[in-house]
Amino acid sequence: MIGHTDNSILIDAPLALVWSATNDVANWPELFSEYASAEILSEVDGTTTFRLTLHPDDEGRVWSWVSERTPDPVTRTVRARRVEPGVFEFMEITWEYREVAGGVLLRWVQDFRVRPDAPIDDEAMTERINRNTVTQMGLIKERIEAGAGPLPADFGLAGRRVLVTGGTRGIGRGIVRMLARAGADVLTCYRDDEAAARSLERELKGLPGTHHVVRADLSKVEDVERLVDECEVRFGVLDAVVNNAGVISHLPYRELPVREWQRIIDVNLTAAHLVTQHTLPLLSPGASVVFIGSKVAEVGVPLRAHYTASKAAVVGLALSLAKELGPQGVRVNVVAPGVIETEVLHAMPRDARDGLRARYREKTALGRLGEPDEVGGAVLFLVSPLSSYVTGEVLHVGGGIS
C-alpha cells in the first residue's frame, strides 16, 4: 500500500506573496508551528536542500530530517522529497498554487510508504498527516493573510525613507515589515545571519516600496559609516531612523567579564549613538528617531545588569536628544517592548517555551506575549506624521506587563 494525502486551502493574499512566503524555507519556523529550526544545507540549480527539526515531542524526542525542494515558478508547482526518509521508505510532496477568486488555492499532495519496522502503519500515518496538515495549513493561511500587502489605512508613510538597524530577525523584522506595508522605503542592516537577510529580501519583494538589506556590524565605527553612506547613496535623505539592533546575555553580575559588559554596551548603546550621530546630516525636517529600549530597563531583572544598564542609558540619550534636536523639528522617542515572540523563543525546547508563555499569561494584562509586528505598529506611529507632537516619550509595548 502507498499512503496518499491531498489537502487544499484558500489563502486570501497575492500569489507572489503566498509563493515567496511558502518557499522561504529558512523562515519556516515562523510559518509552521511544528518546526524548531530549518537549516539550509545547499542551494544548487534551483533545488534547496535543508534540514528540518521538530520541537521535542511529549517524550522529549527531537525528530529531524533532510529534505529537498524544487520550486518551478512557471507552473507554480513545487516538487519536494525527503532525502533522509526516517520512518518512511519514501515521502514525496507536491505543492500546487492556483490563483482563484478570493486568493490562492494552495494544494498539498503527499505520497509515501511507511517502513515495515516503523511503529505506525500507512493508514495511521495518513490519518496523522491529514490531521496535522489541516492545523499547519490553517496557520500558514492566518500568518500569510496577516502580513499580506499594504496596510488598509494610510499612515502618511508612502515614499518616506527609513533606516532600521537589525531588521532581518525578531522585532526589527516586524518593524521593517510594518513600515514596508505602510509604503515606506526601508534600508536595514544585519551583522552576519545571511539566511535571514535573504529571507527578508524575499519577503520584501511581495510588499510595496524600494528596500535594501545591507551587512554591517554596528560595533565597528567603519561599518556604521559605510551604512550611513549607503543610506545617502540610496535615499539622499532619511525621514526616520530606528535604532533596533541589540544583543543580550544572561550572566550573574559577580562573574560578568568586562568584555561581555563592553560587547553589550557597544551594540545596544554606542552603536545606537553612532548611527544617530552619523545620520544627523541626512535627516529631513520633521524627521523621527526611535530607539528600541526595553521594559526591564525600568524594573530591573537578575542576570541582566549589563543589558538593563545599556537600555536605561538609551532612554537618557533619547530624552536629551529630544531636547537638543527639537528646535530643528526632529522628534526622538523610545519604544520599550515587554517580552516578544521572536525566533529565539521558537527555538527553545517546548517545555521552556510553554513555561515562559504560561508565566507571561499571568504577568500581562493581555495574557500573552507580544508579536514583532505589534512593536512595528508602535514604531510606525512614531515614524508617521500622526505623532508630530510626540517627542521625548517612552512608549511601552508590553501588553500591560506588571
Query: Looking at the annotation, which residues are catalytic?
Result: 307
Q: How far apart are CA 348 and CA 135, in angstroms?
A: 21
d(CA 70, CA 42): 12
Q: Check residue 46 and report its DSSP letter.
A: T
| Binding range to ligand NAP, per CB under 6 A, among 33-41, 74-82, 92-100, 211-219 | 211-219
At closest approach, how far in Å is the CB of 58 from ligand NAP? 27
Which residue from 147, 183, 209, 246 is in contact with ligand NAP, where contact means CB under 6 A?
Answer: 246
User: Which of 141, 160, 169, 306 lies at the binding interface for ligand NAP (CB under 6 A)?
Assistant: 169
Q: Which stretch binds ligand NAP (CB under 6 A): 31-39, 91-99, 210-218, 228-236?
A: 210-218
Q: Decide whether 166 or 377 has the Cβ nearer to ligand NAP.
A: 166
Minimum Å gap between C-beta 344 and ligand NAP is 6
- Binding range to ligand NAP, per CB under 6 A, among 55-63, 154-162, 339-347, 359-367: 339-347
Q: Where are the alpha helices (DSSP H) in 12-121?
A: 15-23, 28-31
Q: Which residues contact 111 (CB under 8 A, 6 or more apart)?
A: 2, 3, 4, 90, 91, 92, 93
Nearest CA among 165, 185, 187 for reference residue 276? 165
Is residue 267 within the footprint of ligand NAP (CB under 6 A)?
Answer: yes
Please identify which residue in 171, 176, 213, 379 interacts with ligand NAP, judged by CB under 6 A.
171
Q: Residue 6: which of 81, 86, 96, 71 has the closest Cα?
A: 96
Quick one: which of 247, 303, 309, 315 contacts ligand NAP (CB under 6 A)? 247
Binding of ligand NAP by 39 (CB under 6 A): no
By CB under 6 A, tell whether 313 contacts ligand NAP: no
Which residues are bridge partners to 77 per DSSP? 72, 96
CB 79 within 8 A of CB 94: yes
Binding status of residue 292 toward ligand NAP by CB under 6 A:
yes
Among 18, 129, 340, 401, binds ligand NAP (CB under 6 A): 340
Using DSSP's 3-state secondary structure scheme, residue 75 falls into coil
Cell numbers 545596544: residue: 268
Residue 344 interacting with ligand NAP (CB under 6 A): yes
Distant-in-sequence, close-in-space partners of 48: CB < 8 Å, separation ≥ 6 = 25, 40, 42, 68, 69, 70
Torsion of CA 144, 149, 154, 157, to 10 degrees: 110
Contact 39, 357 (CB under 8 A): no
Which is closer to ligand NAP, CB of 92 or CB of 217? Answer: 217
List, as one string, the DSSP characters of 238-258.
EEEEEE---------GGG--H
Closest among 298, 320, 311 to 268, alpha carbons compared: 311
Taking CB under 6 A as the binding criterion, the range among 64-72, 113-121, 131-139, 160-168 that sits at the site for ligand NAP is 160-168
Minimum CB distance to ligand NAP, residue 28 (Å): 16
**CA diameter of the chain:** 77
Distance, CA of 31 to CA of 225 (rounded, Å): 35
- In the shown chain, the binding pattern of residues 189 to 208 toward ligand NAP, with x for contact by CB under 6 A and - for none, equals xxxxx--x------------
Does residue number 244 form part of the binding site for ligand NAP (CB under 6 A)?
yes
Q: Min. distance of Cβ 164 from ligand NAP in angstroms?
A: 9
**Quick count: other Cβ atoms within 10 Å of Cβ 360?**
20
Backbone angles phi, psi at 308, to 5 degrees: -65, -35
- Identify the three-state secondary structure at position 81: strand
Among 339, 378, 380, 401, binds ligand NAP (CB under 6 A): 339
Query: According to CB under 6 A, which one of 294, 364, 384, 391 is a site residue for ligand NAP?
Result: 294
For ligand NAP, give the closer residue by CB, 139 or 248: 248
Give the residue from 238, 186, 177 showing the smallest Cα distance to 209: 186
User: How many chain residues bind ligand NAP (CB under 6 A)?
Assistant: 31
**Does the protein bind ligand NAP through residue 381 (CB under 6 A)?**
no
β-pair partners for 35 = 54
Residue 279 within binding range of ligand NAP, rule CB under 6 A: no
Among 85, 147, 209, 337, binds ligand NAP (CB under 6 A): 337
Q: Taking contact as CB under 6 A, which single stretch among the options 73-81, 101-109, 250-258, 341-349 is the one that binds ligand NAP?
A: 341-349
* Binding footprint of ligand NAP on the chain (CB under 6 A): 165-166, 168-172, 189-193, 196, 216-219, 244-248, 267, 292, 294, 337, 339-340, 342-344
